[in-house]
A and B are shown apart, each in its own frame.
Chain A
């Protein structure tokens, strides 16, 4: 597609349920990031995929969070046993080149998660 696509755009769930968020990066982009943005806050790094290298999971806040990416395509972020503090917008971004080469991140519009 023309841009980074995320789904669902909005998700309301009950505490304790599992949720899956999906990201379709721009075709050909080897790098893919997930960030979390709480209301009125900046972006909190969650996980980074680069090609076939092992992902950088250092930002995942707990073992309830996990993410997968198949090759250089779609990624899913899974949150198990959701808690109210998981409520946030989850942003996905992709990049054609590595950040160390000053690549630009292209962001999706995000998935807004509300945990009741």
Chain B
């Protein structure tokens, strides 16, 4: 069973602060994706990382894939209330199915 552990489970910060959330596994993944989900909606893809050590930036969001392709991190600089949501990592390993972590619920207070 491929498990993705996300931490922290909950995070509440003030606008303007920086934060990092983590996605860890004992399994190697051929690719890893990050999704954001807002209440009442389905998750929406933010980024896909495929190469060990890869770093991708999306405006104030920086995503990193671990060298061994077992873990990933998401760093948000100068968080804004619009960043509030559930951040989910998802990975593809040997099987075809995309496995999700339990998510980090982020609240950014004005």
| Chain A count of residues within 8 A CB distance of the other chain | 27
Q: B88 near A42 (CB under 8 angstroms)? A: yes
In the bound complex, residues from chain B placing their C-beta under 8 Å from that of A42 are 6, 86, 88, 100-103
Given A33-B98, A42-B100, A42-B101, A102-B40 contact (CB < 8 Å): no
> In terms of DSSP, what is the predominant structure of the interface of chain B?
strand
Cα distance A44–B48 when bound, in Å?
Answer: 20
Q: B97 near A43 (CB under 8 angstroms)? A: no
Given A109-B41, A109-B42, A104-B48 contact (CB < 8 Å): yes
Q: Is A96 an interface residue (CB 8 A)?
A: no
Please pick, from B6, B33, B42, B45, the residue contacting A4 in the complex, using a CB distance under 8 A: B42
- Chain B residue nearest to A47 in the complex (CB): B97
- Chain A residue nearest to B91 in the complex (CB): A99
Q: A48 near B97 (CB under 8 angstroms)? A: yes
For residue A69, give the distance in angstroms from its CB to the closest CB of chain B.
Answer: 15
Give 8 CB contacts A-B under 8 Å.
A4-B42, A42-B88, A42-B103, A45-B100, A93-B42, A100-B31, A102-B31, A105-B35
